[in-house]
Structure 1
């Protein structure tokens, strides 16, 4: 594989950027900022699956960006039986986006792997995340300089797993599918989506919870063996 691959495409959230850890710290900050006395762990236990479901709906164009940002919070507060008005939910929704990139923990091995890979490959990002936030994450985590291109769903108008976002990313990178590799944590959006565009894939599954017959890694360091 490594003899013909010239360009490596990464998902960002849950693959390089430790979304759950950074998100938890953000909620801790904005709850304190807005004087909300709520148990963070209890809130997150409801919020995490609700947020995942809304991102799936967003990928299918069944909810808008605004609906995702507001409703995931509203449903989470209802689920944990915490009374909060609509004005506060809107405020928290804005604060969350404002402060999310304040925290930039990466998965173990990210910097070392990117540093080594860049010597042999052109590196790129393909993400369904919101454009303005993703750019800040890359910059504040000090990894933006590793990537030749960043393709977001908002740039293209469709979201992974739609083939068009992968085709656009390939076009911008000026590379053919057979020379490309996609690495991501989402089986449908990253792996199946890229495969349909003719791109080889590696699933990143740090918790080893996903059944997958294709290439899979549990740590980013494994990429050194596979690609270097």
Structure 2
């Protein structure tokens, strides 16, 4: 087997829970209720994701609070940055309701995590974000087993890709970094961060032929991971 490990850490968003599909559906539902929305679907999604990336990065860097980044995102999206906070909060809550209603697992992801537990692996989730929301996502996709170790950046010394995040997660698993495999969709946060902290790492990406670094394990879907660690699902 390529990876002889005792523990596996999973990213959450777009690794076990389909964040992109949920946010896409929620954004399109949100603008469908607005009069005379000027953008087509592609333009709508491009604007939303650009603002999400920009302002969530500011939240991760500690520059703004979760509430402030939400207000900045929705204000920028609607081009109403100077709107009153209570109005921005109302608009974002409409998006958030749709987002939560569309939470779905990445096919095969939760089943694999639970199978690994049954096979004797120590399994954890290492995710950037707000603790309450990330735990609610886990519950929505059926990952409530008390044996799962859940590490959310809000409760850690630093977010991914900081080595401090990976050290804390390995400590929670009770394993040394070289005994742990990190699985995620972000090359920077999940893969480069894990490897710099001494973990093994597998990148979940459909672009299997575009990465020149052959030392990085890559799989097209999370369900393919079982082949790399010898677990049947």
- Of residues 95-104 and 42-51 in structure 1, the stretch that sits farther from structure 2 once superposed is 95-104
Separation (CA, whole Å) in 2 of partners of 1:185 and 1:212: 17
Matched, 1:161 2:139: no
Gaps in structure 1 of 5+ consecutive residues:
none
Kept in 1: contact 2:110–2:142 (CA 8 A): no
Separation (CA, whole Å) in 1 of partners of 2:74 and 2:221: 31
What is the TM-score of this pair, normalised by structure 2?
0.83
Match in the other structure for 1:216: 218
Deviation of 1:95 after TM superposition, in Å, equals 4.0
What is the TM-score of this pair, normalised by structure 1?
0.85
Deviation of 1:183 after TM superposition, in Å, equals 0.6
Deviation of 1:30 after TM superposition, in Å, equals 5.1
Deviation of 1:112 after TM superposition, in Å, equals 3.8
SS at 1:57's partner residue? helix
Deviation of 1:110 after TM superposition, in Å, equals 1.8
- Of residues 16-25 and 138-147 in structure 1, the stretch that sits farther from structure 2 once superposed is 138-147
Gaps in structure 2 of 5+ consecutive residues:
none
SS at 2:148's partner residue? strand
Match in the other structure for 2:34: 36
Report 1:25-104 matches (<5 A): 25-28=25-28, 35-37=33-35, 38=37, 41=41, 42-78=43-79, 85-86=83-84, 87-97=86-96, 100-104=99-103
Separation (CA, whole Å) in 2 of partners of 1:114 and 1:15: 11
Separation (CA, whole Å) in 2 of partners of 1:212 and 1:63: 36
Deviation of 1:109 after TM superposition, in Å, equals 2.2
Kept in 2: contact 1:148–1:173 (CA 8 A): no
Separation (CA, whole Å) in 2 of partners of 1:199 and 1:56: 24
What CA deviation, in whole Å up to 9, does each residue of 1:101-149 have, x standing for no partner? 3322222222442343233322110011211111111111112328521
Kept in 1: contact 2:75–2:81 (CA 8 A): no
Match in the other structure for 2:198: 198
Separation (CA, whole Å) in 2 of partners of 1:83 and 1:128: 26
- Of residues 166-175 and 98-107 in structure 1, the stretch that sits farther from structure 2 once superposed is 98-107
Assess, with a 3 A threshold, how the Cα gap between structure 1 residues 115 and 173 changes in structure 2: closer, same or farther.
Answer: closer
- What is the count of residue pairs matched by the alignment? 223
Kept in 2: contact 1:17–1:107 (CA 8 A): yes
